[in-house]
């Protein structure tokens, strides 16, 4: 059981971090600024996304497995 929790934590962190990073990069490009000027906020949002994804990942994984069995 712990193997699945670690797996879903990693998957959630990967998806959450990627999603927040992509949205942050998109926002920096839309604001017509240089990508390098917005590097720190992008990094902060990526860490926040990875943290949220890591926390939600096991919950989402349990729901996924539950509906997959039916």
User: What is the pTM (predicted TM-score) of this model?
Assistant: 0.82
- 47 located within any domain: yes
pLDDT digits (tens, 9 = 90+) for 10-51: 999 999 999 999 999 888 888 877 777 888 988 999 999 999
- 70 located within any domain: no
pLDDT > 80? residue 64:
yes
- 7 located within any domain: yes
Cα separations in angstroms, 8 against 5, 13, 51: 5, 8, 13
- 11 located within any domain: yes
- 34 torsion bin: left (phi>0), alpha (psi -120 to 50), beta (else): beta
Per DSSP, 36 falls in state G
pLDDT band, very low/low/confident/very high, at 1 (cuts 50, 70, 90): low
């Amino acid at each position: 059981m712990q193997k699945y929790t670690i797996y879903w934590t990693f998957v959630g962190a990967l998806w959450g971090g990627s999603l927040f990073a992509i949205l942050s990069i998109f926002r920096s490009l839309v604001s017509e600024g240089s990508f390098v000027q917005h590097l720190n906020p992008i990094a902060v949002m990526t860490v926040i996304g990875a943290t949220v994804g890591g926390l939600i990942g096991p919950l989402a994984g349990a729901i996924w497995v539950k509906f997959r069995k039916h």
